[in-house]
Amino acid sequence: MDFQELVRKRFSARNYRPDEVETSKLDYILECARLAPSAVNFQPWKFLVIKSERQKENIRQCYDREWFKTAPLYVVVCVDKSVAWVRKSDNKNHADVDASIAAEHICLAAAEVGLGSCWVCNFNPDLFAELFHMSAEVFPVAIIPLGYVNETPKHLSERKSMEEIVTVL
């Protein structure tokens, strides 16, 4: 499969089978995230893999949706903003950008190995930090449920046309 086929194959999965995700697939996905580019190669990310029932109950408090509860595991992309690169001209800390790149690598790698994923950023980060004992410098950027998709949507989200998003100067 070429890259565009992979990108078209990926969608936000919101219904998972209870089947366990094989360790080899999870390891492959995490290795793809580890290899993601980051500003000045600082790699400020931390990946939390949530598999235990107790920790799944905790993460589900941070994003209380029925579909979210169907995922057999979660990867939480966190960053340590104290080690991320900061652009000198405006002091922009690139931790969130770096985490976003790694998160998308996770989603694409999951699609490549036949798993579904969904980028979740609408969760309670303060509750997450409390429940998972995060330091002040480390914060969660995205929760990515992973698993085998129970049902593929009949219609995938429409994309804007090239004319709407591209300006050639």
Spell out the domain ranges in the chain. Answer: 3-165
Say which residues have a Cβ less than 8 Å from residue 46's Cβ, sequence separation at least 6.
Answer: 78, 79, 80, 138
On whether the pTM is more than 0.85, the answer is: yes
CATH 3.40.50.261 assigned to 3-165: no
Instruction: Report the pLDDT value the prediction gives residue 36, as an integer from 0 to 100.
Output: 98
**CA pair distance 33, 25, nearest whole angstrom:** 13
**CA pair distance 110, 107, nearest whole angstrom:** 5
Q: Show the CA angle centred on residue 110, arms to residues 104 and 114, nearest 5°.
A: 150
pLDDT tens digits along 54-112: 999 999 999 999 999 999 999 999 999 999 999 999 999 999 999 999 999 999 999 99
Q: Residue 156, by phi and psi: left (phi above 0), alpha (psi -120 to 50) or beta?
A: beta
Q: Name residue 45's beta-bridge partners.
A: 79
Instruction: State how far Cα 95 lies from the chain centre.
Output: 14
